[in-house]
Amino acid sequence: VPVVTTLELDANFAAQMKNSKSNPLIIGRIHVDQAQLGAMDDPAGAARAFVEQLLPYADDDRRRPYFDAWVSYNEPVANNAEEMQRLAAFEAERVRLLGDRGIRSIIGNFATGNPTDLALWEHFLPAVQAAQQYNGWLGLHEYAAPTIYYLTDPQKEGRYPGVSPQDEGWLTLRYRKAYNQYLKPAGLAIPLVFTECGVDGLVQPGQRPGPTDAQGWRDFQSYWAENGFGLWGPGAYIEQLVWYDEALRQDDYVIGGCIYALGTSGQWLSYDIQGPAAGVLKQYLSVHVS
């Protein structure tokens, strides 16, 4: 299913996207400070404060027909069980407050490789239970570098690794560990959206192969050409994203994913797929979108 995550909350912009041929699900996000879970002594109060900030957008009659769900904190980091319990309490209360108004929440939105300790998922289950009750979704970010296959089970296969429903990974395909070990056994395999995904050199800096200063996919084009992953960078990147798409389609709880990014600027230009990459992606989606 086509999915878009956006910080641009203009109602006309959202209507234009929703009324396009692809008719995407649209996920909204507002600018808020990063979560400080170590200092969050009143998660329910924090949730109420967040909802007060969000409602002028999420409960606006001009926007409600077009936005399908809303996220909260971007890439919250829980360093221990207590912090994850606070995040779960915050998210559960936010889900309820918005759900009582008929507004869907996307919980989590953890960064790539997070939570670093998979056992912390156990402490996030109350939020997942609330999301299940209110028809909410789980959001995750998954990136890898120098290729999107890096640290997955099939990475040793090179340019055309293939993927099976049993394959997992430490960065991409990590979501399967969370579902297989925690969510499915608890009866909480709620719908999943990747609110960001792609190739990101800032993941595991100094530990991964490839150019040390590389950030977005554009910075890895020479590495791909030199190491057998394709001579033409835009095509090589979409080839990797197609592999990832094939993996997501193997799990019926996955709704879709948002490639980061389209139409960005400044320090994020190396991630932007505008241009030839978007053209190749459009060709693929014209026959594979569902």
User: What is d(CA 18, CA 26) in angstroms, rounded to the nearest whole number?
Assistant: 7
The structural domains of the chain, ordered by start, are 3-288 (3.20.20)
Q: Which of 35-44, 149-158, 172-181 has the lowest mean pLDDT?
A: 149-158
**Between 276-288 and 233-248, two packed helices, what is the crossing angle to 10 degrees?**
30
Longest dimension (CA), the chain: 54
**Cα(187)–Cα(38) distance, integer angstroms:** 29
| Confidence bin at 265 (pLDDT 50/70/90) | confident
Give the range among 39-43, 119-123, 131-135, 205-209 with minimum mean pLDDT: 205-209
Residue-level pLDDT at 113: 97
Cβ–Cβ < 8 Å for 288, 245: yes
* The pLDDT of residue 288 is above 90: no
- Burial of 175 from C-beta contacts in 10 A (0-12 / 13-18 / 19+): buried
Q: Tell me the average pLDDT across 252-276.
A: 96
Q: Using 50, 70 and 90 to split pLDDT, how confident is the model at 290?
A: low
Mean pLDDT across the stretch 6-34?
97
Q: Give the pLDDT confidence score for residue 50 in this predicted structure.
A: 99
Q: Quick check: 20 pLDDT over 70?
A: yes
pLDDT band at residue 211 under the 50/70/90 scheme: very high
**In this predicted structure, what is the pLDDT of residue 148?**
98
Mean pLDDT throughout 256-260? 98
Residues 225-243: tens digit of each pLDDT: 999 999 999 999 999 999 9
pTM of the entire predicted model: 0.97
Given a cut of 90, whether residue 87 has pLDDT beyond it is: yes
Residue type at 256?
Answer: G
